[in-house]
Structures are given as structure tokens and as C-alpha cells.
Chain A
Amino acid sequence: MIEFLHTISRIIEDLPSVTMTLLGGFGKSIEIFLITLVLSLPLGLVITFGSMSKIKPIKWLFKTFVWIIRGTPLMLQIIVVFYGPGLLWDANALPRLTAVLIAFVINYSAYFSEIYRAGIESIPQGQYEAGQVLGMTKTQVFFKIVLFQVIKRIVPPMGNEIITLVKDTSLARIIAVEEIIMVAQRYISAKALIWPLFYSGAFYLLFCGILTLLFGYIEKKLNYYRG
């Protein structure tokens, strides 16, 4: 009992400094998250158009790309981007964070592109035709009719994928980028403390909780109509 109280009081004592240190690591996690999101959301759309192209070679090129990216672990992709150029061409290694970001953006673009594609293909042909017979141009049909319906349909799967991205940022430590898990792990070797690692989960939980609320709100806003 005394032992337990002693441990608790040690934890409380260390809590402020550990929190600050972990927050620093989590800042890096959020940085990876935000940059990946901002770059891969539009890049995903480019891949979508590529994989829906009427020109067969382009279509298959993009489809193969998506297959490779989705068919291999993100962890491996990070390693390949970081060590690959050096092994293959004797090139200088990229800065660690840059390598992580490249791997993440490529990976998440591929996943997003598939969500976009499913959304676009789920819009009935009749919506396009209705716009067409009313004299709308292709651009007007896409922006005034189709796009909004696509967004409504992809919000739930996008929310899911984006929350996965938050947690995937922990993979960055495979090439020693100091995100929160890596920072927390250091307490084990340096001070024989395991609880900071457990505590790091709270940061993810809180952040994902906020995202969940945000996506719930967007979904509700878009739910003013069915279909």
C-alpha cells in the first residue's frame, strides 16, 4: 500500500514535465498528420481521375500504383523512401521527416483516391443526364450537381481514414522521427518509467475524439436530405 502511494506521488510529481515532453512529441505527430492531409486530399483526386481515365494505359498505370501502395505496409514504404535512394543510386538520404511525409502522402493519396472513386461511381448516371438535358455544361454538372452528393457520401469513410492517419503517424519512429511514441519510449530506457508510454494514448484519444465530433457534426449538417 505504501509502495503504491509512493508510486502515485512520483507520477503526480513527474506529470507536468512528462506532459510537456509528450506534448512536444505529439506536436510532431500532428505536424505529420496535417501536412499529409493537406497534400494527399488533392493528390488523391488526381489519382482518382487517373484510375478512372478512359485511356487504358493511364488507367492501368494508376491502378497498379494503387495496388502496390495498398498492398504493402506503410512501415515498409517509409523505410524504402528513406533508405532506397541511397542503396539504389548512392544518393544522399533524405531528411527523416521529409522521407516520412513523402511515404505518408503517397500512401494516403492512394487510399483517399479509392474513397473518391467509390463516391463518384455511386452517383447515378441519371443525375448527369438530368443536368445535361437541362443545358448544363459538363463542368456545371460536376460542380453544381455531382460534387456535393459525392462529398455527402464520402464523409463517413473519409472520417474513418483520417482517424487512422492520426494513429499511423506513430510509424514515423521506424526511422527515428521523434513523434510521441518514440518520445514516450525513451522514458523506459532513460528512467525505467513505462507509464508515459501508456499516457501517450490519452493524447491520441483526445485528438481522435475531437475529430470524431467534427465528422459527426459535418455528417449531421449534410443529412438534411436523403439520397
Chain B
Amino acid sequence: MAILEIKNLKKSFGKVEVLKDVSFEMNEGEVVSIIGSSGSGKTTFLRCINFLETADSGKIVCDGDVIFDGKSVKKMNAKEIREKQMKFGFVFQQFNLFPQYDVLTNVTLAPKLLAKERPDFKKNKAAIYAEIEAKALDLLSQAGLSDKINNYPCQLSGGQQQRVAIVRALALEPKIMLFDEPTSALDPELTNEVLKIIKFLADDDMTMIIVTHEMQFAKNISDRIVFMDKGVVAETGTPEEIFGNPKTERLQHFLSNTKL
């Protein structure tokens, strides 16, 4: 069964129709890359999936749970939205680390706040916090950041910051990771350290949607590629199909303007 199923998603900003009827499906453990020229709606698509934007119509089913239905009149309250958001981890192009906290706190802040909602929190506070910290340290060490746990974001390179941001998202154990151009704000020599982590997650069977301009990387890592153009999924297929045998003229045109 598909872990994520999106049907006829539409989204406009004012008069501009940014997503025009996007449908999409993915299975657990699948890695899907979204490619397409700038302004084609890739970011908006990701943001609609985890409620940073609210789509106008369509339906999103995640893990058998209808998380969005444009038809239902009922407006979700903040708490419901939050619960659904938690199914996803989101990695921003601009990292968005919290500058006033060191690396470890950036990772543990949200899990610790969430832990307060656990019924056994008062009784086991120390143990719960210790567990959260141990897990954060473990993830940070896997990301090669063990020696940076007490540094502030401003003391890190862009690549290190993005690795912290990825760890921060992973610490909440999301079902699906969403990456919005995770290496676009990085110098070329720093992109590899971030891509390596994403590759590591893919090998670990993490379910991921990655918006990227790194074509070679998308080709190597993805089970499937989605090409978006002007707010629609213009073509989708395996990396071999998309890069080796593009069917639509739009994709051919896009690829001829993009270096592999």
C-alpha cells in the first residue's frame, strides 16, 4: 500500500495557479526526486504536503490516514495540523537552525518540548531527557558532527549546518523526509557531505521526497523521478526512463538545458 497518496492537489496564490491538479503516490522506503525548472511549483508542493501551506483542493492520504481533504468543510485546528505535520521531517534550503542554541540543543529542543505532553513525563523527566539526548548524540555522530555539539550555528560551515538540520528533523522520527533543495545554498565543495547523508538515509530505507537540481545525485539515489513543469507533473519514471529516454518535449528541453 502506498505510504503517501496525493490526489488532484490544487493551490493558487491569489490569481496565480501554482499547482494545477497534481497527483502523486509513493511506497514506504521509496526515494523520489522532484526536478523541474524554478517556479514550477516544487517548493509549494512540498509545503502543501506538510501544511506549511494549505492546499485549495485535493486529497492527501499518509499511512492510511487522510491528512488533508479539500472537500471536508471542517477546518483542522492547530493541534490536528501539528499531529499531521509530525509525520514529516522537513529540510529547508536555508537550514533555518536556531542561532541562539548550540548544535545539541537545536536537535533536542523540539523532542524535549514534545516529551512534556507524555503522560509519564513528570515521573520520568530525567530519564526521558537523557534518552532524547543520547539519541541526538548518536544521530549527530552518524552525521560526523560529534565534535560540534557545543558549537553555535554561526560557527559552522553551511554543509555542517545543513547536516545539523537533517539530524534535527530525524530526531523526531518522521515517517517521510521532505528535502527542499537541501544543497542549493551551499558552495559546490560542501554539497557532497550533505548528499552523502541523504544517500546514507536512502540505504537505510528512509522514505524521502527530494527536490533537487543535482541531476547526477537524483539519478543515482532515486527509485523514481518526478518532473514538474508549470504546476503539473509533466513526466514521471525511473531514473533510466527520465534521463535516458525522456518522452515529453518539455522534459527533453529541460534536460538539454541542465548539466548532468
List A residues at the B interface (Cβ < 8 Å): 124, 126-127, 129-138, 140, 144-145, 148-149, 152, 224-227
A130 touches B92 (CB 8 A): yes
Using A133-B52, A135-B172 as known contacts, say yes or no to A127 and B85 having CB atoms under 8 A apart: no
Interface centre among A137, A224, A225 (most CB of B within 10 A): A225
Q: Which residue of A lies closest to B52 (CB)?
A: A129
A130 touches B96 (CB 8 A): yes
Report the minimum CB–CB distance from B185 to chain A (whole Å). 11
Report the minimum CB–CB distance from A92 to chain B (whole Å). 50
Using A129-B92, A225-B152, A226-B154 as known contacts, say yes or no to A135 and B82 having CB atoms under 8 A apart: yes
B114 touches A135 (CB 8 A): yes
For the complex, is B110 an interface residue (Cβ under 8 Å from A)?
A: yes
Which residues B65-105 have CB closer than 8 A to chain A? 78, 82, 85-86, 88-90, 92, 94, 96-100
Q: From B97, B98, B100, give the contact of A152 (CB < 8 A).
A: B100
Report the minimum CB–CB distance from A80 to chain B (whole Å). 43
Kindly list chain B residues whose C-beta atoms are within 8 Å of the C-beta of A127.
Answer: 96, 98
If A126-B92, A129-B92, A129-B96 are given as contacts, then 4 extra A-B residue pairs at C-beta distance below 8 Å, sorted by A number, are A131-B110, A148-B100, A225-B153, A226-B154
Q: From B50, B88, B98, B113, give the contact of A130 (CB < 8 A).
A: B98
Q: From B85, B113, B153, B169, give the contact of A132 (CB < 8 A).
A: B85
Q: Which residue of A lies closest to B109 (CB)?
A: A144
Bound CA span A137–B99, Å: 19
Bound CA span A149–B114, Å: 22
Bound CA span A197–B52, Å: 62
Bound CA span A130–B109, Å: 12
Kindly list chain A residues whose C-beta atoms are within 8 Å of the C-beta of B172.
Answer: 134-135
B94 touches A225 (CB 8 A): no
Kindly list chain A residues whose C-beta atoms are within 8 Å of the C-beta of B92.
Answer: 126, 129-130
A227 touches B114 (CB 8 A): no
For the complex, is B224 an interface residue (Cβ under 8 Å from A)?
A: no
Report the minimum CB–CB distance from A124 to chain B (whole Å). 8
For the complex, is B59 an interface residue (Cβ under 8 Å from A)?
A: no
Bound CA span A133–B180, Å: 13
Q: Which residue of B lies closest to A135 (CB)?
A: B86
For the complex, is B168 an interface residue (Cβ under 8 Å from A)?
A: yes
6 inter-chain pairs at a CB distance below 8 angstroms, sorted by A residue, are A129-B52, A132-B52, A133-B89, A135-B85, A225-B153, A225-B154
Bound CA span A136–B109, Å: 9
Report the minimum CB–CB distance from B128 to chain A (whole Å). 16
Bound CA span A152–B101, Å: 13
Report the minimum CB–CB distance from B182 to chain A (whole Å). 14
Using A130-B96, A144-B113 as known contacts, say yes or no to A224 and B50 having CB atoms under 8 A apart: no
A145 touches B85 (CB 8 A): no
